[in-house]
Amino acid sequence: MRQLTPALTAALLVVLSACAGAVDGQQNAGTSSHGLEPTPVLGWSSWSFLRKDPTAAKIEAQARAMRDSGLQKIGYNYVNIDDFWYQCPGPQGPNVDSYGRWVTDPSKFPPQGDTNGIEVAADYIHGVGMKLGIYVTPGISKQAVSNNIPIEGTDYTVDQIAAPSHTEENYNCEGMVSIDYSKPGAQEYTNSWVNRFAQWGVDYIKIDGIEDYNGPDVEAWEKAIRQSGRAIVLDTTEGNFTQALAPTLMKYADQWEFAPDIECGRCARQHPEAGYILTTWTNIAKRFNLVAEWQPYAGSGRWNDYDSVEVGNGSHDGLTPDERQSQLSLWALASAPLILGVDLTHLDQQDLECLKNTAVLAVDQDSIAAKRVVNTGDQQVFAKMESNGEAIVGLFNTGGNAETVSVQASAVGLPESERGYSTRNL
């Protein structure tokens, strides 16, 4: 049996079968239901670079840069506002409107007349042909509960659906308590959130701080999206959930992120002159095991999300060129959402060429999550089989010393062939 043996730090190969006929593409288990997007989402998020200071002007600038760089033309079309878009006065919880929903910070997203500032931003993003995402966390603000605020369209109040003794994760504002979905009015409260987002023109909702016990929240938000009549991607991200939640996520969410933030915390800075870096190789390397462990749960319109792709700002990414190539290759093999975390207004040309590598992008968009077939020391190999008989193979050396990484063709799903195989390095 022929061996595939490139001596590279990270190689992403197409192995072209010399045999006649095709074999069936790999399918992941339990993925008969289909989410909103037929392929993994491509876009950008504010968290890695803008952190605590997203503003309408900055979001719009990133959208223009995504368009002008050519990324929009190849499918990058989601512009996502992460945390800190709403008013956060302290541990009593976010400020709320007359129906208990967070209030937009007008200093960051100024309204235009009676038009909410998020809706103004959505109109701009839609005007350049893209879609807008927004961030929330589960539960109800303590402010709404203490003031017995009514639930829109009902005779109930939010204190009647709250579980005030149980605190939800809201990492930066705090002051959120759980919802008891066995109580009348609970679904209607979540419906009112989504209906307002739909009115604003939101296309993507990220619910952060999800734990294993938050399954009812995920289900309620999906039901709320369906009743709203607007097509909205539902992204659930971890507080600390495990694979025990996977069946619920596969049924109700479009994508889910179950790993700690990929950013390197205090090393992140907002301005190029501050010498910021976005991540470290240590944070990237942790994903190899996660990609292997969660592989069975991805596919058919619902995706494992391994967090932001920190490729685009050269040395500010915090990664060497080989490490950036490795991250992008691994995410593509996993058919993960490619949500860029970088500053699109200061793109590094070499990084941009990597991001615009349409052959690698096609590997991500084939919607097949690769399996790990080698895990020995610093050597890891992931592979998936296409429906036309081609194998996509990623060979990785995750250590600091040069190594030759090889794998038997049979291990990646290729049949015996006297004529052998040809390869193409993507």
pLDDT digits (tens, 9 = 90+) for 361-419: 999 999 999 999 999 999 999 999 999 999 999 999 999 899 999 999 999 999 877 78
Are 13 and 121 contained in the same domain? no
> Does pLDDT of 268 surpass 90?
no
> Does pLDDT of 177 surpass 70?
yes
Are 258 and 286 contained in the same domain? yes
Report the C-alpha gap between 218 and 145 in whole angstroms: 21
CB atoms under 10 Å from CB of 150, counted, come to: 18
In this prediction, residue 16 carries a pLDDT of: 63
pLDDT digits (tens, 9 = 90+) for 143-163: 999 999 999 999 999 999 999
* β-pairing verdict for 42-45 and 407-408: unpaired
Report the C-alpha gap between 128 and 64 in whole angstroms: 8
185: left (phi over 0), alpha (psi -120 to 50) or beta: left
In this prediction, residue 191 carries a pLDDT of: 98
Exposure string over 307-341, b if 16+ CB within 10 A, otherwise e: bbbbbbbbebbbbebebbbbbbbbbbbbbbbbbbb
In this prediction, residue 1 carries a pLDDT of: 37
Are 375 and 239 contained in the same domain? no
In this prediction, residue 420 carries a pLDDT of: 82
Instruction: Please count the residues of the chain.
Output: 426
| Percent of residues, the chain, with pLDDT higher than 90 | 83
Are 129 and 258 contained in the same domain? yes
Q: What is the mean pLDDT of residues 221-237?
A: 97
In this prediction, residue 23 carries a pLDDT of: 34
Helix (H) or strand (E) holding 60: helix 56-68
To 5 degrees, how large is the angle CA 280–CA 284–CA 286? 120
Helix (H) or strand (E) holding 33: none
The upper half-sphere exposure of residue 65, i.e. CA atoms within 13 Å in the direction of its Cβ, equals 19
Phi first, then psi, for residue 353 (nearest 5°) are -60, -40
123's CB contacts (< 8 A; 6+ apart) are: 115, 201
Are 152 and 5 contained in the same domain? no
DSSP helix/strand/coil, 233: strand
Are 374 and 260 contained in the same domain? no
Are 39 and 70 contained in the same domain? yes
253's CB contacts (< 8 A; 6+ apart) are: 35, 218, 222, 234, 235, 236, 302
Q: What is the mean pLDDT of residues 101-114?
A: 98
Are 329 and 280 contained in the same domain? yes
Q: Residue 10 belongs to what domain range?
A: 1-26+369-426
Contact status, residue 140 vs residue 162, Cβ threshold 8 Å:
yes
Average per-residue pLDDT for the chain: 91
Exposure string over 52-65, b if 16+ CB within 10 A, otherwise e: eebbbebbbebbeb
Are 138 and 253 contained in the same domain? yes
Torsion 337-368-324-172 (CA) sign? positive
pLDDT digits (tens, 9 = 90+) for 184-214: 999 999 999 999 999 999 999 999 999 999 9
pLDDT digits (tens, 9 = 90+) for 3-56: 555 544 567 877 764 433 333 345 453 333 457 899 999 999 999 999 999 999
pLDDT digits (tens, 9 = 90+) for 284-319: 999 999 999 999 999 778 999 999 999 999 999 999
- Using the structure block, give the residue that is written with the tokens 């040395």: 315
Are 421 and 326 contained in the same domain? no
Q: Please report which confidence band the pLDDT of residue 276 belongs to, taking 50, 70 and 90 as the band edges.
A: confident
Q: What tokens were used for 213? A: 């016990």
pLDDT digits (tens, 9 = 90+) for 75-84: 999 999 999 9
